[in-house]
């Protein structure tokens, strides 16, 4: 099956199904000498694990990782790093009634149309549980990026139709993100969203959401024109997530109704306070500059300009709902369907670490590629 490997130099292949023996990843191209322990990976996996309350499914998995190769005495060897997480709480019987039925909003029919065969237990490979391997790999990428001073932070910026102010808005609190089950950086809004989600859950329905992310201390010069632009690579990474349906950078779709005089980010002499030095010194004829705005979200011409990279990803509502729906089966007969099992009412809190992980994988790959861009 093609499409399971991501990246060029920092390459990640994920494997496993929702109700198989386990899931994980193989990382190839990670530099040697990076400090890495099982605890580093486990910490990120705990952030995305189910059963955390609030909007999440009640499936209770410990998600304990095993490092099978590529690490010795707490440091990466430069050889492939294999990470495995075993499934321990799958209840495959919950899906017996779905073997011959196509769930609305799911990949059941399209998967069968492509392969002629599918694992009906929780969606198999198309399950959101596949993101476990991405988060495990992202944990390694984050450590690599931290050594370069690069920080990635994401948060729930909208859920159940309620928007959250951005970092410059009233009440935004970075420290609050990990203090409530929705990862909303505003305590009062988090309370309002939780109340609304409980109503939606009681109705047997689900809610969509948005996750915003900022990459701080990213040096200028990252991105590979023309087809591997920084924003293009990030967009591909985010839209590879099963429920993602849209992404915008900086001003995003608001730019469509703006003017050039309003949307142009203008350079001025000297580096700004949020701009780190370039990964490699700038050429002699290229002066350091600061930017008077960030409508472009830190990316110009597909290349980082030294400002924080800012983007937002929109996620559709979870399609597995307990409300009665109509669908068809393999014989094309209309069926009334009530989906059993354990499902999120909103994926926002678990999407936050996944968005961070995919951003880390993109940046790590581009950082390695930049090393060969010029002498």
pLDDT digits (tens, 9 = 90+) for 305-316: 999 999 999 999
Residue 93 binned pLDDT confidence (cut-offs 50, 70, 90): low
**Mean pLDDT throughout 241-257?**
96
**Mean pLDDT throughout 253-265?**
95
User: Which pTM value belongs to this model?
Assistant: 0.93
User: Which pLDDT tens digit goes with each residue over 55-84?
Assistant: 655 545 789 999 999 999 999 999 999 999
User: Which pLDDT tens digit goes with each residue over 158-181?
Assistant: 999 999 999 998 999 999 999 999
- Best CA proximity match to 234, nearest among 264, 213, 265: 213
- Best CA proximity match to 156, nearest among 208, 211, 195, 193: 211
Residue 338 binned pLDDT confidence (cut-offs 50, 70, 90): confident
Number of neighbours of residue 320 by Cβ within 10 angstroms: 21
Check whether 147 has a pLDDT greater than 60: yes
Give the pLDDT score at 92: 59
Query: What proportion of the chain, given as a percentage, has pLDDT over 90?
Result: 70
Check whether 185 has a pLDDT greater than 70: yes
Give the pLDDT score at 125: 86
Check whether 256 has a pLDDT greater than 80: yes
Give the pLDDT score at 283: 77
Give the pLDDT score at 268: 87
Check whether 43 has a pLDDT greater than 90: yes
Check whether 183 has a pLDDT greater than 80: yes
């Amino acid at each position: 099956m093609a499409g399971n490997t991501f990246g060029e130099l920092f390459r990640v292949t994920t494997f496993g199904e929702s109700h198989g023996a386990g899931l994980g990843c193989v990382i190839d191209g990670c530099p040697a000498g990076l400090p890495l322990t099982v605890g580093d990976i486990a910490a990120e996996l705990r952030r995305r694990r189910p059963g955390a309350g609030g909007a999440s499914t009640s499936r209770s998995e410990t998600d304990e990782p095993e490092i099978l190769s590529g690490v010795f005495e707490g440091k990466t060897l430069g050889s492939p790093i294999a990470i495995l997480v075993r499934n321990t709480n799958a209840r495959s019987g919950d899906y017996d009634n779905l073997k011959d039925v196509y769930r609305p909003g799911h990949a059941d029919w399209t998967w069968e149309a492509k392969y002629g065969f599918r694992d009906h237990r929780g969606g198999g490979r198309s399950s959101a549980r596949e993101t476990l391997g991405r988060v495990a790999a992202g944990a390694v990428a984050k450590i690599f990026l931290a050594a370069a001073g690069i920080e990635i932070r994401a948060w729930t910026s909208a859920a159940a139709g309620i928007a959250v102010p951005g970092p410059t808005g009233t009440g935004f609190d970075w420290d609050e993100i990990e203090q409530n089950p929705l990862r909303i950086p505003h305590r009062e809004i988090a309370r309002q969203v939780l109340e609304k989600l409980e109503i939606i859950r009681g109705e047997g329905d689900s809610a969509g959401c948005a996750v915003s992310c900022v990459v701080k201390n990213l040096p200028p010069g990252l991105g590979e024109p023309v087809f591997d632009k920084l924003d293009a690579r990030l967009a591909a990474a985010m839209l590879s997530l099963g429920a993602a349906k849209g992404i915008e950078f900086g001003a995003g779709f608001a730019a469509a109704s703006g003017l050039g005089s309003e949307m142009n980010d203008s350079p001025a002499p000297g580096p700004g306070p949020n701009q780190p030095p370039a990964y490699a010194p700038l050429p002699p004829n290229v002066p350091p500059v600061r930017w008077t705005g960030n409508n472009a979200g830190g990316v110009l011409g597909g290349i980082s300009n030294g400002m924080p990279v800012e983007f937002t990803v929109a996620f559709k509502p979870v399609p597995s709902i307990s409300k009665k729906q109509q669908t068809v089966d393999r014989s094309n007969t209309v069926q009334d369907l009530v989906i059993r099992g354990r499902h999120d009412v909103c994926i926002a809190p678990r999407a936050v670490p996944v968005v961070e992980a995919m951003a880390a994988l993109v940046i790590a790959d581009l950082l390695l590629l930049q090393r060969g861009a010029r002498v």
